[in-house]
Amino acid sequence: MNFVTTADGTQIFYKDWGPKNAQPIVFHHGWPLCSDDWDAQMLFFVQRGFRVVAHDRRGHGRSAQVSEGHDMDHYAADAFAVAEHLNLRNAVHIGHSTGGGEVARYVAKHGQPAGRVAKAVLVAAVPPIMLKTASNPEGLPMEVFDGFRKGVADNRAQFFHDVPAGPFYGFNRPGVTPLPGVIDNWWRQGMMGSAKAHYDGIKAFSETDQTEDLKAITLPTLVMHGDDDQVVPIHDAALKAIKLLKHGTLKVYPGLSHGMLTVNAAQLNADLLAFIQG
């Protein structure tokens, strides 16, 4: 397996498929998953001649289960370690959910103007900030994230079944048929990772104010969000993020869920390809 060692000695697992001289697309996964969550996108793009790269965030998947560093700064630095190791240039960085926050921090701190990043995509992403605060009264109350922490601490295995079986893919909506394999795969990915990384990561994805990251991004950025996202509500994420981006394009998907990259892959992949080639 492929690993890179970060500045603080953490082993980060990564995948690197396709021609090394092709344009790279770098995928950043959501909480509490791993690079496997991008299977549908990585296969689609490698079959179209792109170089596709994805890593497991520290404490997730096959990366080292370290005790510390479960915050956006370390997440972005770890992603940069992979990009630097592979000498990726002119890359398109695509992030889902927490991975969208990772992309925003990465591009703002490591991607400009060195020529490493060409474009960015935020899919059902957490920026600018999820938590309800005095300056963000529309956000979700702390009790929501305390519930996530309780689920991880009390019975992570059951919690990691309930989330994908319910709100993540919209399988709790009337008339929607649950896909057992998708639910099982979410559970598998989650349980590969570290409970501490998952617990600490809740603070990272909910309380990190990325307003300044979004303002700092000068590259073309596509913001994709389902308007029935029950995990990262669109009104507190994409609809605010698009106002902060200098060169942002918003695409809203009526009725689609937080997990639309998996259950609506054909539609999302076509739109991603059009943005990358546009």
Please choose, from the candidates 147, 125, 118, the residue with its C-alpha nearest in 3D space to the C-alpha of residue 30.
Answer: 125
Q: 124: Cβ–Cβ under 8 A, 6 or more apart, which residues?
A: 30, 96, 97, 100, 224, 225, 226, 229, 231, 232, 237, 238, 258, 260, 261
**What are the tokens at 76?**
């972005």
What is this structure's pTM?
A: 0.98
pLDDT, residue 50, reads 98
Ranges of residues in the chain whose predicted pLDDT is under 50: none
Query: Would you name the residues annotated as active-site residues?
Result: 97, 229, 258
Question: What whole-number distance in Å separates Cα of residue 254 and Cα of residue 267?
Answer: 12
pLDDT, residue 184, reads 98
Q: How many separate domains does the chain show?
A: 1
Residue 94: give the domain boundaries.
Answer: 2-277
pLDDT, residue 90, reads 96
pLDDT, residue 204, reads 98
CATH of the domain at 141: 3.40.50.1820
Average pLDDT, the chain: 97
pLDDT, residue 29, reads 98
pLDDT, residue 71, reads 98
